[in-house]
Amino acid sequence: MQNLNESLQAKYPHLELAILPLSQVNKDNESKRIDSEYFKKEYLEKINLLSKISTKLENLMASGYYGILPKSDDYLENGLSLVRGKDIREFSLEISNLVKVPYDYFQERYQIHKNDILFLVKGATIGYEDGVLFILEEPNKKMIFNGSVFKLQVKNINPAFLYVFMMTKYFTFQKVREVANNGIEYNSLPTIKNFLIPQFSQDFQLEIEKLVKQSHEALEDSKRLYKEAQELLYKELELDFKNPLESLLKSSLQAKKPSELANINDISKKYPHLNISVRPLSKSLHKSGRLDSEYYQSKYDLMETKIKDYKGGYCKLQPSEIKDFNFTPKAQEKYRYIELANIGNNGNISEPLEDFGENLPTRARRKVKTGDFIMSSIEGSLTSCALITPEFDNCVVSTGFYVLNSAQLNGETLLVLFKCEFFQEYLKKFPSGTILTAISKDELQNILIPKINPATQEQIALKIQKSFTLRAKSKDLLESAKVKVEQNIQTPANQA
């Protein structure tokens, strides 16, 4: 068989050929696939390498479950936190950023606990190396997960080590190879159980666990500094950090005259199910060009009054601060492209796509520089904001972003401001459109921005810069752990 393979490869050097006996084709082939993709040379080489040092995942599973499939219509403002596939690509869970569903969906087997490993088993990103998450500490609130995620509890192996292995190419290729061939990209339970997991010494596994814990500590310190920056901003705006919207409403009611409060109470009693705002044409359509009721909600008045009353004053974005000129990538030149999916919950940016200009999507038309601030213009993705740090200088971004460089606020302060709960609620006022609801350039220039005290801006900038440095350190520690595992797989002498 070996000689036949060699002779055919010599005869057809431009083709990848492999002749396999039926017994080898059927081995651990739950779906009985015979397509050439399944038997790619690189796959077979990795399988051959792993099979000498591995056991099947089913031998290490204490339990394993797919998640639930709630309807998007069931998403709530408050409720039970739901982890989706996009959330586990953050390397940690931020409960405040998770969508919420009714508590009726809760079942114990869907609850996330300490030492759980969550990994993607469905969707186009199934083969991404960051499609796995390890729960190092017991969550302080109940959380469940959706059907694109598989929850794993293990035995006879260090879960931190397994987590790192699941980020390596030696695991992700197995997920990609075993995608069910039925039009929907997912891993079935039988194929998950057949995944090969290398068996290394306890000492080596503990070495990897140590790096995972150090990475986790750095990430938690990064998140703490980001929250401290948020607190500085809220303090400057005289809003309660824990409940900014509630404190805004409370202070507004306290400032109103008794006669105004009486009118509010009368209207509320008469129409308890409605949010009413009465405006003359001169202060509505003729002024803003908008006639939709959403635009005139009273909460937006409160927010704009709060910004206008800020002791440092306020401003609006000027045309020169909005970098919306198009950049046309050269066909044969490589670029790094940032899209909405690359933006993390804390303004961090995951590794951009790198490709030739001719292969980039037509929306890849904005070039960014260090210090620029990018924000999504699309309703539903307004939280996708990020600061362009030196490692992303000269990247190309989607036209779904606005690229801003303010003369009044530094990039770090813009990031914290635009991502804070108060401002996120305020931004909901501005999107318009029917097919694609988004913030137009004209509306972008109508947004009121508080001119935060320069000293406070400097403090915020320092905390965000340190936060980003720690996040990078956390990522580097995980990358170091991943490299060690891959090297151990490739070096049999180190496997004992």
221 three-class SS: helix
Q: Residue 450, CB half-sphere, CA atoms under 13 Å: how many?
A: 27
Residue partners of 270: CB distance under 8 A and separation at least 6: none
Q: How far is CA 486 from the centre of its chain?
A: 26
Q: What is the DSSP string of 103-149?
A: GGG--GGG---TT-EEEE-BSTTTT-TT-EEE--S--SS-EEEBTTE
Q: Give the CA-trace dihedral at 378, 383, 388, 393, to 10 degrees.
A: -40
Residues in the chain, pLDDT under 70: 1-39, 90, 180-183, 250-296, 492-496
CATH superfamily ID and name for 314-451: DNA methylase specificity domains (3.90.220.20)
Cβ proximity of 484 and 342 under 8 Å: no
b or e along 249-258 (b: 16 or more beta carbons within 10 Å of the residue's beta carbon)? Answer: eeebeeeeee
- Starting at the edge strand that comes first in sequence, how are the strands of the sheet with 99-101 ordered? 99-101, 80-83, 143-145
Q: How far is CA 28 from the centre of its chain?
A: 34
Cβ proximity of 333 and 362 under 8 Å: no
Q: What are phi and psi of 450, to 5 degrees?
A: -65, 135
What's the confidence (pLDDT) of residue 422?
94
The helix (run of H) or strand (run of E) holding residue 150 is strand 149-154
CATH assignment of 54-199? 3.90.220.20
**Residue that has been written with the tokens 């998770």 in this structure:** 98
| Per-residue pLDDT reduced to its tens digit, 35-77 | 656 668 888 889 999 999 999 999 999 999 999 999 888 888 8
Closest CA to 167 of 235, 218, 120, 105: 120
Domain boundaries, given as residue ranges, for the chain: 1-39, 54-199, 200-238+456-489, 244-309, 314-451
Q: Would you call 311 exposed, middle or buried from its count of C-beta atoms within 10 A (0-12, 13-18, 19+)?
A: exposed
Closest CA to 190 of 357, 399, 31, 400: 31
Question: Which two tokens mark 108?
Answer: 């114990």
Query: What span, in angstroms and rounded, lies between the C-alpha atoms of 49 and 28?
Result: 16
Contacts 24+ apart (CB under 8 A), 282-291: 288/446, 290/432
Same fold, 54-199 and 314-451: yes
Query: What span, in angstroms and rounded, lies between the C-alpha atoms of 454 and 463?
Result: 14
Q: Is the dihedral of CA 215, 354, 344, 453 positive or negative?
A: positive
Cβ proximity of 107 and 46 under 8 Å: no
Work out the number of other CB atoms within 10 angstroms of the CB of residue 66. 21
Can you give the pTM of this predicted structure? 0.82
Closest CA to 163 of 482, 480, 396, 496: 482
φ/ψ region of 332 (left if φ > 0, alpha if ψ in -120 to 50, else beta) reads alpha
What's the confidence (pLDDT) of residue 286?
38
Q: Is the dihedral of CA 392, 395, 401, 403 positive or negative?
A: positive
Query: What are the strands, taking DSSP E only, across 204-331?
Result: 314-315
Cβ proximity of 264 and 257 under 8 Å: no
